[in-house]
Amino acid sequence: MHKNSDREVFIEKRGSAGIVRLNRPKALNSLTLPMVRMLDAAFDEFEGDPDVATVVVTGEGERGFCAGGDIRALHQSGLSGSGDAEAFWREEFALNHRIAHFPKPYVAVMDGITMGGGVGLSAHGRHRVVTERTRLAMPETGIGYFPDVGATWLLPRMPGETGTWAGLTGLEMNATDALYAGLADVKIASSRLPEMIDALARMPLGSSSTAVDALLKHIAIHPHAGHPQHNREVIDRAFRFDSVEEIVAALEAEEGEFAAETRATILKRSPTSLKVTLRLLRQGRASADLAECLNRELAACMQILKTPDFYEGVRAAVIDKDRNPKWKPAELAAVSPEAIEPFFGSVKPLAL
Active site residues: 69, 117, 140, 148
d(CA 139, CA 167): 7
- Taking each helix axis from N to C terminus, what angle separates 84-100 and 290-304, rounded to the nearest 10 degrees? 170
d(CA 279, CA 283): 6
Q: How many CA atoms lie within 13 Å of 192's alpha carbon, on the beta-carbon side?
A: 18
d(CA 209, CA 46): 16
- Taking each helix axis from N to C terminus, what angle separates 290-304 and 271-285, rounded to the nearest 10 degrees? 160
What DSSP string runs through 278-344? Answer: HHHHHHHHT-SSHHHHHHHHHHHHHHHTTSHHHHHHHIIIIIS-------SS-SGGG--HHHHGGGG
Cα–Cα nearest to 228, from 149, 141, 137: 137
- The amino acid sitting at 51 is D
d(CA 164, CA 300): 18
d(CA 70, CA 160): 31
